[in-house]
Structure formats: C-alpha cells, structure tokens
Amino acid sequence: MKIIILGTIAYSFYGFRADLIQELVRQQHTVYAFTSEYTQDELKKIEKLGAIPVTYSLNRGGLNPLADITAAYHLSKVIKKIAPDVVFSYFSKPVIFGTLAAKIAKVPQVVGMLEGLGYCFTDQPDGLSKKVKVIKGIQVLLYKIALPRLNRLIFLNTDDPNDLLKRYKIQVKQINVLGGIGLNLSQYKYQSIVNIEEPIKFLFIGRLLKEKGVHDLISAIKIVKKIYPEAYFTILGEIDASNMGALQKSELDELIASNIVNYPGHVDNVKDWIANHHVFVLPSYREGVPRSTQEAMAIGRPIITTDVPGCRETVIDGVNGFLVEKWNPKALAEKMIYFIEHPEQIKEMGDESYKLAQEKFDADKVNKRLINMLGL
C-alpha cells in the first residue's frame, strides 16, 4: 500500500516517527513523508528510515486562512499524483488542511491524529486574550469543516475528545485514543541510581513556553532555594518564536543571569541528561501525552507534573511521582522539597515509573495499535 504521513517539521519524522515508518516499510508499504519545514540533511535522515521525503508549503504558525486554503489546493494535486491508499496527518494544521487536500484528491482512507489541542485550548492563569479567542474561534470553525471528513480521528488522551468534539459539537465518524506515541525503549534504557548523593538534581525538558509552566517552575525553584540553596536545577529547551506562548528573549536572559538554574539550551543527548538527574519536573498547563516525561519514566526517574490533560496520563499520584495543582508554584516546591528530604523515594518511585513506561509507552505495542487504526 501507499501511505502518506503528513506533518510539518522534518525532525518529527526521524525524532518521533522513526519506529512507525520502519515498521510500515518492513511490512512492504511505500511511505511518503510530507514535510513543510526541513533542511537537506533532514530529508536525507528521512530517506535513511526508508521513507520518500516530499516537501510542500504550509506555514505552521501563519494566521492567513486564504494562504492555507491555497496551500491545501496545491497539496491536493501532489497527493493525487501519488494516489495513496491512506493519508495520515498529525499536528493541527496538517490535520485540517491535509484532510481537505486528501478529500479533494479522493484518497480512500484519511486519518488524523491530534497529539494535543494546543495553545488556544489551554487554560491560562489570566484567561485567554481577545486575539487568542478570535484565533480559537477560527480554529474551531476549521475543525468543524475538516474533522467530519476524516475516516478516523486519533487522540492521545481521554480529555481532548471531550474538550474539543463534545464541547463544540463536532461530529467525527470514528474516534480512538492511542495513549501516547510511544518510545523505543531500547534507546531509553533503565538506569538505576544506586547511591543518591546531594545535591538532589531536578530536570525540566521542553520548549520555553508559558504553558509549559516555565514561570511556575522558576517561582518554585526560588522557594526551594531559600530552604535548600544547594538543590540543583537544569532547564533544557529553546524558545519557539512561532508559538504565541513563547518566553521572551529578555525573560530567558534574566533567568540565565540569575544563576538559579543550569541552562545548556537545546541538547541532542537528552537521555544522558535524564540519567544524570534525580527527578523530572514538568508543570505544564496541558499536553497530548508529554514525550519528555515518558523518556524520564523509561530511564527510571520519578515525575512531578500537573494534574491536567495529558500529564495525568503519566503519573499515578504517590506511586511514581506526584500530580500537583496547575499554576501553583508553592505546591510544586513542596513536592521538590519532599524528594530532597526523602531521597530514598527517588529510586522507589523511579522504579515504578520504569514499570509504567514498559506497560503504557512501548513503541512496539503503540505502533501495532496505531497501524491497526490506520486500517493496514
């Protein structure tokens, strides 16, 4: 069969879809990877997976519906020429405009996956701005046009279908919940902490966005530092300038200058950083199912995260870590202090994280379910 996987950022194919693509190729399917943000080196990496890279135009952060509709029309011509059996799109804009393009091209099976609902559907402490409310209204309208045309829509968690489809009365033919995109667990091997020595090291990984809880994390770190000045905190990630919730460069400069955190920026050897820290922290406002948390769980680290959609899929409170109230730096600080004062719990809860990752996030198991949902 011919399968088009339609995304935006090239990295997402070899960073998060490698196992899926390789399994599809192993099953003798021809896989086309459609990307709109790429370098030549990234296209070669996609080729090495066994997929055929195809480039197209779609502005991921753009707010011009006319430009997007034009892009969808041009995309439909490319899809029609390939004549695939299945088009599988992920991320919001590809799901909307890729679905419309696929239907114009008369593709028999069109499947979309929303890995999260994004900034416009994420509650903010001060509420949504007027601009965001307008953008959200446009997005809901586009979803109402596109999603009913899908043969199947896949979500990662159980909250998103309620918050999108039920709330806005959007009819979809078939819905599935995947429960996370999964990890190649052989690449994220369990690494036990035998002797826990001070200082206790806490790690955050994510794009530097307000809705990732970066401000709450910084406030919590300041609380912890007053009581335990030797506690050690690392933040890994970059500013995503195309995102409405991006941290300002001045805010990042101020954070670095404060010396309360270690900030190496973006790194490629994430698993080494996880292994060299004791506790993983993600105070996000909303997620699909966070991959960074899954990686930390697979390596055997306890998790502190917020009791919000997506994040709550990764923690059994008090077993492999803690769920805290969103927007609450004090509650976050209390749980970080707990691990400083009860270091023996780091290994115990970390081991539970590892067990949970084996059960829920093994890419082999997840990809089998996903391939079945694609009708292959």
Residue at 189 is within a domain: no
Total of domains in the chain:
2
Bridge partner list, 255: none
Q: Are residues 93 and 157 in the same domain?
A: yes
Residue at 82 is within a domain: yes
For range 169-177, the mean pLDDT: 97
- Among 112-116, 221-225, 240-244, the least confident range: 240-244
Residue at 188 is within a domain: no
Torsion of CA 32, 37, 41, 45, to 10 degrees: -40
List all residues 6 or more positions away from 260 whose beta carbon is below 8 Å from its beta carbon.
218, 221, 222, 225, 233
For range 78-104, the mean pLDDT: 97
Q: Are residues 176 and 218 in the same domain?
A: no
Q: Are residues 143 and 167 in the same domain?
A: yes
pTM, two decimals, is 0.92
In angstroms, rounded to a whole number, what is the distance separating the alpha carbons of residues 261 and 129? Answer: 30
Residue at 32 is within a domain: yes
Residue at 194 is within a domain: no
Q: Are residues 235 and 262 in the same domain?
A: yes
Q: Are residues 115 and 141 in the same domain?
A: yes
In angstroms, rounded to a whole number, what is the distance separating the alpha carbons of residues 45 and 53? Answer: 9
Domain ranges, residue 326:
201-360
Q: Are residues 171 and 227 in the same domain?
A: no
Q: Torsions phi, psi of 113, nearest 5? A: -135, 125
For range 327-355, the mean pLDDT: 97
CATH code, domain carrying 322:
3.40.50.2000
Q: Are residues 178 and 241 in the same domain?
A: no
In angstroms, rounded to a whole number, what is the distance separating the alpha carbons of residues 374 and 41? Answer: 29
**113-137 confidence digits (pLDDT tens):** 999 998 899 999 989 999 999 999 9
List all residues 6 or more positions away from 211 whose beta carbon is below 8 Å from its beta carbon.
119, 122, 124, 245, 284, 285, 286
Report angle CA 122, 117, 283 to the nearest 5 degrees.
Answer: 50
Q: Are residues 296 and 170 in the same domain?
A: no
pLDDT for residue 244 is more than 70: no
Q: Are residues 235 and 176 in the same domain?
A: no
Other C-beta atoms lying within 10 Å of the C-beta of residue 83: 11
What does the block give as tokens for 156?
A: 């990662």
Q: Are residues 171 and 243 in the same domain?
A: no
Q: Are residues 101 and 111 in the same domain?
A: yes
